[in-house]
Amino acid sequence: MKYIVWACLLLGTFGGYGQVKTRKSDIVLVVHGGAGTILKSQMTQELEKEYTDGLSEALKKGYDILERGGSSLDAVEAAIKVLENNPLFNAGKGAVFTNEGKNELDASIMDGKTLSAGAVAGVTTVKNPITAARAVMEKSNHVIMAGAGADKFAAQAGLEIVDPSYFFTGQRWKALQQVKKEDSLKTELDHSGKKSSSYYFTNKDSKFGTVGAVALDQYGNLAAATSTGGMTNKRFGRVGDSPIIGAGTYADNNTCAISCTGWGEYYIRLVMAKTISDMMEFGKIPLKNAADEMVMKRLPALGGDGGLIAVDSKGNIAMPFNTEGMYRGFMKDGKAEVKIYKE
Ligand code: ASP
């Protein structure tokens, strides 16, 4: 009997006798590079290509991991690292500046199988904040670590540490000066795309976004991750939704995995990601309907804007946004699709 059980396990895992390896789930990866975009009328072909190439590279990196039988956690972390290293996006290198002229980075990651989660807020020296979030999840008893303590923890965990000047980019610096000129205390979503913002029109290159990834692996496990520099001109100590589990990031194998992008304060107040998960779990509402309700109705009703990416346990994808565009893409059945604007 023991041998029969082992044989079944091996067949299930490796296929056996030339059979194709059976997957429990379809594999899916979805990424975003921020909701709200450079207005279509102001986008150049070259820049559009740079964005789509960046998103495609992240998709490829994460999807390869899923295809080789890797976990959704590894896939979302790898995809985010690609985007953090790309100065076009407001995460890692290329992050926006605080009111004090610093880069303070937030990131989080969640494992839908165990509901384990990790996050860092306001780190200034970790090259890839998403790796620090994962270290908090796996190497500490905590969920969120902030500021100098989080930087110290990342160094002790052996992560790559850089001088804060590594995150500097001229465009982001210019964007900070511009916002300050308008109003020294005004915070500016780097990607809001609000037509009412004169800053938006005068600084078309400043609307680069937070990054996120959600994945379903072949074992049926979901994971979500988000990383950001936050908002241009944010005040000291400001923490957005991105490192808040349940607001900017959430994953539960019973429902879905979500990564948000948008005006963080509103996402926190709506407990955006967990509310969608709860709507699915307790209200039996399909992912798309739950996500649309929150992003297209509840969020603007409060005065917020943005979007999110999500995948449910069956591999269904939702990518709603109430801004002009959202840098986004997904890979499923071996095919990738990357988009910036509405259809
Ligand atoms: N949600 C992020 C924050 O408020 C910003 C973004 O999505 O770009 O920090």
pLDDT digits (tens, 9 = 90+) for 249-297: 999 999 999 999 999 999 999 999 999 999 999 999 999 999 999 999 9
CA of 58 to the centre of ligand 1 (A): 19
Q: Which residues contact 281 (CB under 8 A, 6 or more apart)?
A: 252, 254, 255
CA of 267 to the centre of ligand 1 (A): 9
Edge-to-edge strand ranges of the sheet holding 144-146:
144-146, 116-123, 105-111, 222-228, 211-216, 28-35, 325-332, 335-341
Nearest atom in ligand 1 to 230's CA: 9
Task: Per-residue pLDDT tens, the chain, 343 aa: give them.
Answer: 444 444 444 444 443 343 445 577 799 999 999 997 778 888 899 999 999 999 999 999 999 999 999 999 999 999 999 999 999 999 999 999 999 999 999 999 999 999 999 999 999 999 999 999 999 999 999 999 999 999 999 999 999 999 999 999 998 999 899 888 876 656 665 554 444 333 332 333 344 489 999 999 999 999 999 999 998 999 999 999 999 999 999 999 999 999 999 999 999 999 999 999 999 999 999 999 999 999 999 999 999 999 999 999 999 999 999 998 999 999 999 899 999 998 7
Contact (Cβ atoms closer than 8 angstroms) between residue 259 and residue 277? no
Residue 298 has what pLDDT?
Answer: 98
Residue 25 vs residues 11, 109, 114, 144: alpha-carbon distances, Å: 16, 21, 18, 31
> Rounded to two decimals, what is the model's pTM?
0.89
Q: Which residues contact 150 (CB under 8 A, 6 or more apart)?
A: 120, 121, 122, 123, 126, 132, 136
Q: Which residues contact 109 (CB under 8 A, 6 or more apart)?
A: 73, 76, 77, 117, 118, 119, 130, 133, 134, 137, 223, 224, 225, 249
Residue 196 has what pLDDT?
Answer: 35
Closest CA to 257 of 217, 294, 309, 305: 309
User: Is the distance from the beta carbon of residue 90 to the nearest atom of ligand 1 less than 6 Å?
Assistant: yes
Contact (Cβ atoms closer than 8 angstroms) between residue 114 and residue 189? no
Residue 184 has what pLDDT?
Answer: 63
Q: Which of the residues are catalytic?
A: 210
| Residue closest by Cα to atom 8 of ligand 1 | 210
Which of 38, 80, 97, 263 to probe ligand 1 with, by most ligand atoms within 8 A of CB? 263
Could you give the CA distance from residue 126 to residue 42 in angstroms, rounded to a whole number?
34
CA of 143 to the centre of ligand 1 (A): 19
CA of 141 to the centre of ligand 1 (A): 26
Could you give the CA distance from residue 343 to residue 337 in angstroms, rounded to a whole number?
13
Could you give the CA distance from residue 140 to residue 133 in angstroms, rounded to a whole number?
10
CA of 25 to the centre of ligand 1 (A): 31
User: Is the distance from the beta carbon of residue 249 to the nearest atom of ligand 1 less than 6 Å?
Assistant: no
Could you give the CA distance from residue 202 to residue 292 in angstroms, rounded to a whole number?
31
Contact (Cβ atoms closer than 8 angstroms) between residue 75 and residue 66? yes
| Residue closest by Cα to atom 9 of ligand 1 | 230
Nearest atom in ligand 1 to 248's CA: 1
Nearest atom in ligand 1 to 261's CA: 7
Q: Dihedral sign, CA of 63, 69, 71, 77?
A: negative
CATH pick for 24-341 out of 3.60.20.30, 3.40.50.150, 2.30.180.10, 3.30.930.10 = 3.60.20.30
User: Is the distance from the beta carbon of residue 241 to the nearest atom of ligand 1 less than 6 Å?
Assistant: yes
Could you give the CA distance from residue 267 to residue 76 in angstroms, rounded to a whole number?
21
Domain extent listing, the chain: 24-341
Burial readout 298-327 (b: 16 or more C-beta within 10 A, e: otherwise):
ebeeeebbbbbbbbbbeeebbbbbbbbbbb
Could you give the CA distance from residue 12 to residue 22 in angstroms, rounded to a whole number?
7
Could you give the CA distance from residue 328 to residue 309 in angstroms, rounded to a whole number?
8
User: Could you identify the residue written with the tokens 């789509």?
Assistant: 52
Residue 42 has what pLDDT?
Answer: 80
User: Is the distance from the beta carbon of residue 261 to the nearest atom of ligand 1 less than 6 Å?
Assistant: yes
Question: What is the per-residue DSSP string for 47-80?
Answer: HHHHHHHHHHHHHHHHHHHHHTT--HHHHHHHHH
User: Is the distance from the beta carbon of residue 231 to the nearest atom of ligand 1 less than 6 Å?
Assistant: yes
Q: Which residues contact 336 (CB under 8 A, 6 or more apart)?
A: 56, 59, 60, 63, 329, 330
User: Is the distance from the beta carbon of residue 86 to the nearest atom of ligand 1 less than 6 Å?
Assistant: no
CA of 53 to the centre of ligand 1 (A): 22
